[in-house]
Amino acid sequence: MNVYADNAATTAMSETALNTMIPLLKTGYGNASSLYGVGQTAKEYLENARKTVADCLGAKPNEIYFTSGGSEADNQALLSAAMIGKRKGKTQIISTKFEHHAVLHSLDRLKTMGFDIVLLDVNSDGIVRPEQVAEAITDNTCLVSVMYANNEIGTIQPIREIGKICREKGVIFHTDAVQAAGHIPVNVADDNIDMLSVSAHKFHGPKGVGVLYAKTGIRLTNLIEGGAQERGKRAGTENVPGICAMAAALKEACDNMEENSKKVSAIRDRVIDGLSEIPHSRLNGARSPRLPGNVNFCFEGIEGESILLKLDDLGIQASSGSACTSGSLDPSHVLLAIGVPHEIAHGSLRLTFCETNTLEQADYVVKSVKEVVNYLRNMSPVWRDLETGVAKHII
Amino acid sequence: MALYSETVMDHFRHPRNVGVIENPDGVGEVGNAVCGDIMKIYLKIDNDIITDVKFETFGCGSAIASSSMATELIKGKPLSEALKLTNKAVAEALDGLPAYKMHCSVLAEEAIKAAILDYYKKNNIPYDEKQFSEKKEGYFDPEADGTYPDKK
């Protein structure tokens, strides 16, 4: 059996997205900036896609800027808000310790540019409290950025409440909604969001396409200069087939959200219940509120990369927050941020499901993970020490 | 292209000499759980010959494969030869390791040396300290560095 369970890393393109994109690659080649027919047709496709995306997110079409993906959207959002702050003499930016690196590394750069970066701690349940944001905001704050749902542990943040606080205090609020859009309801108006990032390939759209939403009145700073595309804020000939495929995929995801969420949650719950039977294991992050497809476990006494290699041999594709899979010495910054000890964080496994997975696959995953954990524990000196009482179990 | 060579994957899938030796003549354990790699080597030694060797490893695919290959390379060999085993030889026998995984082969070499040292000490056998204190080229000290040299 083959089970693709790494949908938080990327998804397969849906039939809808493919059926939108492939014909457009053939016929929609016109440059949307050109005045002749084939160019104007492309322009029409582009603006229709903009309207579709805006409708899905509760935004106005002129608030939607197409980018090359979530990382670019995050980079541009943070830089833009920082520049707005600078013009007003405000230099403090508040974010959290468990953001995606597209946010954290952008903040590192803003720090070298003189901004004061405050990274909030994350509760052990993987949820940031609105009060933490309220307490951190000062007269000098120009931006708050908190992700909508975490990419590793799937915990959903109280975005609406945080947005309300920011609005009351007159601070720009950005959220990285890359894992949330298309999976759980996201509405920029209801959720008090000023800026938001989206990536197409997380909801069965193509790679290389994303969205930056910026509320009317927020002046963007260009990352890419060189043309009047995207209202002059993002130069480069538009990837019309990709953008239209993204719009189609997002619309499909939003139209079927309730049904998909029910199905995927059932798979997630089956896997969480099954893996909870493994001794000295634990679910990372609160069980609720959690993205419908996210399962993230730690297993004591073993290392994540070996789990992944073993699972791959069994036909299961997953990911891990172990150091060995990241190419750095430290395990996942997300797991460390929620207080998981290093030695446990190395033994983490993330399984992320989507609506094309089945309950039968869920059962196969549980059975396989149990086998792999047992096998690896049996050759682990750490596990032997834990089992013989030489060392104490942490979980 | 796969992350690991076929030989690495073979030793990862079918590790040789996994397990424990009861009443071993020498035991060596290196690495630490915080960094995500621990290797433990058990030796049975008869007349300066390694008659049996077993390993236990907590770590990634290349750590398990390196342990497995290293035990194969010293099994049945005299101690003098086992002491000459370098991490490079382990990595070469595995048809190469990715640069940022070379430390796994270093751990294998160090675990074997630690086990032999343990045997010498237990039996009050005089030994040349230099054979055990040599700092390996390409060795990466996590405590000092924090990230791998080739990490972007």
Per-residue pLDDT of A26-59, as tens digits, reads 999 999 999 999 999 999 999 999 999 999 999 9
- Contact check, Cβ <8 Å, A313/B29: no
pLDDT at residue A66 is higher than 70: yes
The nearest CA of chain B is from the CA of A190 a distance in Å of 40
- Contact check, Cβ <8 Å, B58/A383: yes
Closest chain B residue to A372, measured at CA: B13
Pick from A303, A317, A342 the residue to mutate for testing the B interface (most B CBs within 10 Å): A303
Superfamily of domain A256-387: Aspartate Aminotransferase, domain 1 (3.90.1150.10)
The nearest CA of chain A is from the CA of B16 a distance in Å of 11
Model ipTM value = 0.91
Mean predicted confidence (pLDDT) in B86-113 = 95
B15 contacts chain A (CB < 8 A): yes
At A254, list the tokens.
């939003």
Amino acid A329: pLDDT: 67
The nearest CA of chain A is from the CA of B103 a distance in Å of 11
Clarify whether A166 is annotated catalytic.
Answer: no
Return the closest-CA partner of residue A284 out of A177, A180, A393, A151. Answer: A151
Kindly indicate the confidence band of residue A90, based on its pLDDT and cuts at 50, 70 and 90. very high
Distance CA B82, CA B86 (A): 9
Residue B148, CA distances (Å) to A101, A276, A326 in order? 18, 34, 11
Nearest to A381 among B9, B36, B38 (CB): B38
Mean predicted confidence (pLDDT) in B35-58 = 96
B12 contacts chain A (CB < 8 A): yes
Where does B6-129 sit in CATH, by number?
Answer: 3.90.1010.10
- Contact check, Cβ <8 Å, B148/A328: yes
Where does A15-255 sit in CATH, by number?
Answer: 3.40.640.10
A321 close to A327: Cβ distance less than 8 angstroms: no
Which residues in chain A are classed under CATH 3.40.640.10?
Answer: 15-255
pLDDT at residue B148 is higher than 60: no
pLDDT at residue B140 is higher than 60: no
For residue A348, which residues of chain B lie inside 8 Å, CB to CB?
A: none
B105 close to B97: Cβ distance less than 8 angstroms: yes
- Contact check, Cβ <8 Å, B36/A323: yes
pLDDT at residue B138 is higher than 70: no
Amino acid B147: pLDDT: 44
A157 close to A128: Cβ distance less than 8 angstroms: yes
Kindly indicate the confidence band of residue A326, based on its pLDDT and cuts at 50, 70 and 90. low
Amino acid B143: pLDDT: 47
Amino acid B1: pLDDT: 60
- Contact check, Cβ <8 Å, A324/B60: yes
> Which three-class secondary structure string do you get for chain A?
CCEECECCCCCCCCHHHHHHHHHHHHHCCCCCCCCCHHHHHHHHHHHHHHHHHHHHHCCCHHHEEEECCHHHHHHHHHHHHHHHHHHCCCCEEEEECCCCHHHHHHHHHHHHCCCEEEEECCCCCCCCCHHHHHHHCCCCEEEEECCCECCCCCEECCHHHHHHHHHHHCCEEEEECCCCCCCCCCCCCCCCCCEEEEEHHHCCCCCCCEEEEECCCCCCCCCCCCCCCHHHCCCCCCCHHHHHHHHHHHHHHHHCHHHHHHHHHHHHHHHHHHHCCCCCEEECCCCCCECCCEEEEEECCCCHHHHHHHHHHCCEECECCCHHHHCCCCCCHHHHHCCCCHHHHCCEEEEECCCCCCHHHHHHHHHHHHHHHHHHHHCCHHHHHHHCCCCCCCC
Which residues in chain A are classed under CATH 3.90.1150.10?
Answer: 256-387
For residue B103, which residues of chain A lie inside 8 Å, CB to CB?
A: none
Pairs of CB atoms within 8 A across A/B = 80
Kindly indicate the confidence band of residue B152, based on its pLDDT and cuts at 50, 70 and 90. very low
For residue B38, which residues of chain A lie inside 8 Å, CB to CB?
A: 380-382
Mean predicted confidence (pLDDT) in A344-368 = 97
- Contact check, Cβ <8 Å, A324/B59: yes
The nearest CA of chain B is from the CA of A140 a distance in Å of 33
Catalytic residue among B27, B65, B94, B104: B104
A272 close to A295: Cβ distance less than 8 angstroms: yes
The nearest CA of chain A is from the CA of B42 a distance in Å of 11
Sequence ranges of the domains in chain B: 6-129
Mean predicted confidence (pLDDT) in A74-86 = 98
Kindly indicate the confidence band of residue A325, based on its pLDDT and cuts at 50, 70 and 90. low
